[in-house]
Structure 1
Amino acid sequence: MKNLLKLTASFGLILLFSACTATIEDYTIENESVAAPLNPPCDNEDPKTRVVNNGTVSFNLEVLTADGSTVVSILNIPPNSTTSWASFSENEVMFSLKGSNFNVADDKVLIQMDNCMAYEIEVNGSNEIVSYVPTIL
């Protein structure tokens, strides 16, 4: 009698687990078309820039040409934020990043920006630029 109770309980558990087992027939696999590449090649696009401000103060970004014309101006970039990409014509330009606090040094970088180039300016937690090299798209 003792064994019959254990056998009945074991049989009930086996039946319960076998009813919950999934088989390969329960699932269908659909063929999906190959998606477009995530980063399509650049097609003579204007250069662009943005600021990643991981610092503790707001910054202003100005991109200036050799004759002093402002081609990009992004003001009051708050801490812990990233701006949108801003495009401009290819040229040798000066990137001027100024902090809103007098204790933060201003930084200027002169770069020849050609088409299909991007310059992401990253500010670290100490309010210093840590990226000085643009990338080719």
Structure 2
Amino acid sequence: MTGAWALLGAVAVVAAVAAVLRVRDGRVRAAKPRRDLPAPVRDLLDRDTPVTLVQLSTTFCANCRQTRAVLEDLAARTAGLRHVELDVTDLPDVAADLKVLRAPTTLALDASGAELLRFGGVPKPDRLVAALRPHLPDPIG
């Protein structure tokens, strides 16, 4: 009987963790100020683009493809917005320096490299648009 209770407890813990992850997935978070960016991220910035979405992905990430599709579509139809992807599979120091714990994580950076916001998982387009609107020169189309 003890084994059944242990199994039931394990299932409950897994269900709770899954629920928390589902709620947090795609949630836009305010940026934390930082002094500098790792060189691989800094090299992706374009000084002529107001906002760059830097998607941090890994080789075997299933949600990274879906995130890429959402962000590429948004960048293609939005003036002043650019999307780039950085595979951090072989760059664990970059992920650690940015305090990234999951893939995909996307950072919205201004032209100087200041972090405007970040989100983990597949973004919810309506939330992302609302969060980016104050940082872009033209309305999102």
Which interval holds the TM-score relative to the shorter structure? under 0.3
Q: Give TM-score scaled by structure 1 length.
A: 0.24
Relative contact order, CA 8 A, sep 6+: which one is greater?
Answer: 2
Q: When you count helix as a share of all residues, which structure comes out higher?
A: 2
Which of the pair has more CA radius of gyration?
Answer: 1
Q: When you count strand as a share of all residues, which structure comes out higher?
A: 1
Q: Give TM-score scaled by structure 2 length.
A: 0.23
